[in-house]
Structure formats: C-alpha cells, structure tokens
Amino acid sequence: MIRLQNIQRRYVSDEVETTALHDIDLHVAEGEFLAIMGPSGCGKSTLLNTLGTVDRPTGGRYLFGDRDLAALDEKALAKFRGQTLGFVFQSFNLIDELTIEENVALGLAYRADAGNRRARVAAAMDKVGIAHRAHHFPHQLSGGQQQRAAIARAIVGDPKLILADEPTGNLDTANGEQVMNILSGLNAEGATIVMVTHSPSHADMAKRRIDMLDGRIVASAMRDI
C-alpha cells in the first residue's frame, strides 16, 4: 500500500543543517500494524509526519498505492489526508473549545462524502467507549478518555491508514493498555496502522517493528505469531 523510496528530510535553520531522515526505504502492506521504535531525536516522528503528509520530504519518492504523493499540491494533499488518513497524537490534540462530539465530528468536517454524520460520529464514539462523554469538553476528561476521543476522531472517517504518534506516551499503564487494545482491535478489523512508540511491550502488539537510529532504519523484525 505504501512505498517509500530514498526518502530524505533535511531541516535548514540559520547556519545549521540537520538531516532527520537519511534515504529511508520502507514498504507498508495493507492491513499491517507497524511499530516504529528508537531513541528520542532518531527521526521516528518525522517519518510518521512524512507518511501523514503533514511534513514534506526533501528528497525521494512516496507512493501511496499507485499515486506519487510528491506530485500533489497542498490542496490535493489536504484532501488526501481528509479522505485517507487518521491521526492519533501523544498529546491528543483535541480542540479545547469544542466538545468531544464536535471534536470527533471534525474528522468528517473536511470530507465531501461525509453523509450520515451524526450516526458515524456516534458509532466512532461508541467503538472507543466515550459516547457517554459526548457533551463534555476535553479538559473535563481524563487523559485516557481524551486519547480515546482522539482515536474516535481518527477512525470516524474510516481511513485507509491510521498514524499514531506515541499514543500511550501521556497515559498511565491501565489507560495505555486500553488504547493499545482499541488499536489492535481496529487492526484486526482490517485497519492499517503505523505507530511510533517508546514502549517495547506496546511495540510487541504490532505485527512488525522497525528500529531507527540517527534518521536511518537499522532493524526490521516481524512479530512471532
């Protein structure tokens, strides 16, 4: 489904040039659950952002199916994200001024085919067990509940790919487990997931794991099933 070829990402600020990604080659198959691990600053999040098209590579090719995403302009990329991707962040990134229901509905706000909105939002909230908090504001919820709301937002549009950036990083063990169980469940239902994590046990719940160091993929391993 996804093919990255020689992907590079360089940041230039003032007189310092930093290379966050060195010639990354990566293939993600449909239905896969991929975990990316590595120490802080190794380029995990940059890779994830590149996959999510919220960061543009400075070199290489990014093929999604048979589409070359490098050829798309900003508007087309925005449409692509809205139609194809779901995001889960470490810090949840819910909008403080919107209720949980409104936050989840935001996942449909920028899609042309967003019919039956209320039912889809309700179903997504139901799936992650947050429906009873629909009319609360983010700050009224615990971290685990907020992250479940963020997952509901990510899946409400039925995305082809879910990108999760340390989804359990801000959660305690119990809430972390709960979130990982939801992600595993989604994968079992057919969702493709790429997740960045620091937690070996959570990485073990993925089907494949790659390790990064200094902007390069240094190891790749399939989970023993």
Partner 1 sequence: MNRSALLSLYRSLTRHRLYAALNIGGLAVGIAVFLVLGLYVRFETSYEKWLPDHDKLYVVEEYWNQPGSPANGYSTGTMGGLIDELREDFPGIVGTRMQVMDANVIRPGSATSEAFGYADPDFLDVVPLPMARGDGRRALRDPSAVLVDETTAGKYYSGVDPIGRTITLAVMGKAANYRIAGVFRDLPKATVQRFSIIARMPSPHPDAMWRHWGSERVMTWLRFDTPADAARLAGQLRGFVDRRGAKDLGDVTKQLSLPVTPVTDLHLQTPGRKLTMTTLGLVGLLTLLIAIVNYVNLATARAGLRAREVAMRKVLGADRGALVRQFLGEAVLTVALAALIGLILAELGLPLVNSAGGLSLVMPYGLVVPALIGLTLIVALIAGLYPAVLLSRFPAAAVLASARSPGGGRAGTRVREALVVFQFALAIAFTVGTTVLVAQTQHVRSTDLGFRRDGLVIVGSTADSALDKAQVASFLQEVRRLPGVRMVTTSDSTPGYSTGNSANVEVPGRSDSGPSLQWITVGPDFFPTFGFRLLAGRLPDAAHRLDDMRNAPKDSDPVNILVNRRAAGLLGFATPMAAVGRTVGNGAPRTIIGVVDDARFFSPRDPVNGTVYYYASGQAQFPRTTLRVEGDPRRMVEQLRAIWRRVAPQVPFSAKTATQDLQDYYKADERAARLFGIGAGLAVLIGCVGLWGLASFNTARRVKEVGIRKTLGASSADIVKLLVGQFLRPVLIANLLAWPLAFVAMRAWLAGFDDRIALSPLYFVGASLLALAIAVLTVLGQSLRASRAAPAWALRHD
Q: Is 66 in the site for partner 1 (CB under 8 A)?
A: no
- Distance CA(180)–CA(183), nearest Å, equals 5
Between helices 143-155 and 117-127, what is the axis angle to 10°? 140
Size of the site for partner 1 (CB under 8 A): 28
Residue number, 1 or 78, with CB nearest to partner 1: 78
Contact 182, 128 (CB under 8 A): yes
Residue number, 38 or 86, with CB nearest to partner 1: 86
Q: Is 176 in the site for partner 1 (CB under 8 A)?
A: no
Q: Is 167 in the site for partner 1 (CB under 8 A)?
A: no
Residue number, 50 or 209, with CB nearest to partner 1: 50
Cβ contacts of 117 within 8 Å, gap of 6 or more: 105, 108
The distance from CA 90 to its chain's CA centroid, rounded to whole angstroms, is 10
Contact 161, 111 (CB under 8 A): no
- Distance CA(146)–CA(65), nearest Å, equals 32
- Distance CA(20)–CA(40), nearest Å, equals 12
Region binding partner 1 by CB under 8 A among candidate stretches 24-32, 70-78, 180-188, 205-213: 70-78
Residue number, 55 or 214, with CB nearest to partner 1: 55
Residue number, 104 or 180, with CB nearest to partner 1: 104
Residue number, 108 or 212, with CB nearest to partner 1: 108
Q: Is 75 in the site for partner 1 (CB under 8 A)?
A: yes
Binders in 86-105 for partner 1, by CB under 8 A: 87, 89, 91, 93-97
Tracing tokens 């429906």 back to the chain, one arrives at 131
Length of the chain: 225
Candidates 23, 31, 54, 136: give the one binding partner 1 (CB under 8 A): 54
Contact 143, 170 (CB under 8 A): yes
Q: Which residues bind partner 1 (CB under 8 A)?
A: 49, 52, 54-56, 74-75, 78-83, 85, 87, 89, 91, 93-97, 106-107, 109-111, 153
